[in-house]
Structure 1
Amino acid sequence: MSADLPHPELKARTADALHQYLPVTGPAALDALPRSLQATPEAAGATTDFGLYIYAPHSAHVATHHLHPERLDQAFAALAAITPYFSAEDTVRAFLNTHPGRTLAADWAGAADHRVRRVASEATRPHLPCPSAPIWPSTPPIR
């Protein structure tokens, strides 16, 4: 029975659907995603610092479709805008694994929003409670 179900996880499926139905692609999509958010996370209904899971596909879309070196700064800006709505800690790992130097140079640690600063610290941890894959796989887990 479950073999008939699609294999990608929900976040990946919804990120793909978001990509399919966005009226724009490429750099224009990186501008459209943050503009699609409510005025504030609180206005969207977020009651915790980690936000609402319904916004997870936004950052997953950025990591899946915008890892291009020429768009990294724009992708980082989009993730900084999205992460207060749903934490992008896990999503940033795709950028750390693909473009570690440029990703580590992004100024998330200096952001005014504490949720964006958290991305700088938490995304760089070798292991998170539920990441898609650890960064720097040869790093032993911290116990």
Structure 2
Amino acid sequence: MAEPLKYLLNDTVPPRIAAMVRRAWRKFDTTAFLQQVQPGYESLELMARGQRIAHALQAHLPQDVPRALGVLVDSMDPSMGIDAAGEPDAGDRPYSAFLYLPHSIYIGTHGLPHFEAAMAAQHALTQRFTAEFSIRPYLLHHQGATLARLRDWAQDDNAHVRRLVSEGTRPRLPWAPRLPAFQNNPQLALPLLDALKDDPSSYVRRSVANHLGDIAKDHPELAVGPRAPGCRARPPRARLWCATACVFSSNAATLARSMPWAWVTPWRWTCGPRACCPPAHASATRCASRSNCTTPRRSRSACWPT
């Protein structure tokens, strides 16, 4: 049986965070921080643990928020890499990336009046954990400025940052409040997805597909239809981007009616068992279903047809 999610922030995490912050800012009161976090910590679930730590950080970091954000960034370990398959590579770090969940909560809660410092912190955070949750208050309260920044980040050299552009703007992101403006008007995010649909990282492309799956639940004609950006007269990977939305959407029947194009059938991307092929080998033989697929699960989104 899998361990409860709350153990992603087990009792070793608060002392580790305290040591990291003190390394960056010598005035940090480790003892007082831990005394605030530890009472009743074991009984708390994951998000409550993250909120408890974030609240203690707010109490013991500098009260000047831009300076506090700078301390948090300086306390972070080196960023995760990207492996040869285009997937995140955490290396040999001895802790879960969820150690940075309290940082995400702090940035999303306290950084709003300090846009530039907060966006710099999120740029750093998403390379270690994810800023897909902390970016959402900025899309709600600073929509224009945040979208402008995300347009720049869509061209960032770091795949973690580019993924944030898609994942952070998902209208139905799991574990996160919805974004009503993006749910009602997907055109707000479609230019960002259009910039990322042919990204070299499968990690980014999978986020684009998931985002399209979100859109398809409210606007199937935009996700996969004649108006879908880049679906016609595009190289195979771009067309796969459109077809993948069918696989990722729970509303498969509706999407099937919206996907009459001849190129879907030969590729075996249907609204049923997910087809797959070894990544980066366009001439490879495809298998017909998930059950007999030999491709590692995390690499299946990298498949494209002959």
What's the TM-score, normalizing by structure 2?
A: 0.39
- On the 8 A contact 2:78/2:128 being kept in 1, the answer is no
1:109 aligns with 2:148: no
Report the alpha carbon displacement of residue 10 of structure 1 after superposing the two structures with TM: 2.4
d(CA) in 2 for partners of 1:46, 1:91: 24
Tell me which stretches of 4 or more aligned residues in structure 1 moved more than 3 Å.
5-8, 40-44
Paired position in structure 1 for 2:93: 45
1:93 aligns with 2:141: no
d(CA) in 1 for partners of 2:181, 2:48: 22
d(CA) in 1 for partners of 2:156, 2:94: 20
Report the alpha carbon displacement of residue 28 of structure 1 after superposing the two structures with TM: 0.5
Deviations 1:13-49 (A, max 9, x none): 22111111224532111211110011333467289xx
- On the 8 A contact 1:46/1:52 being kept in 2, the answer is no
d(CA) in 1 for partners of 2:106, 2:119: 13
2:169 to 124, 127, 132: 124
What is the aligned-residue RMSD (CA, Å)? 2.7
- On the 8 A contact 2:108/2:133 being kept in 1, the answer is no
What's the TM-score, normalizing by structure 1?
A: 0.79
d(CA) in 2 for partners of 1:44, 1:103: 33
In structure 1, runs of 5+ residues without a counterpart are none
1:34 aligns with 2:73: yes
Report 1:4-23 matches (<5 A).
Answer: 9-23=48-62
Gap change, CA 1:62 and 1:138, over 3 Å in 2: closer
Q: Structure 1 vs Structure 2: percent identity of aligned residues? A: 35
- Report which of the two structures shows the higher radius of gyration computed on alpha carbons: 2
Paired position in structure 2 for 1:139: 183
More deviation in 36-45 or 21-30? 36-45
d(CA) in 2 for partners of 1:60, 1:44: 25
d(CA) in 2 for partners of 1:93, 1:44: 30
* One-letter identity of the residue aligned with 1:92: I
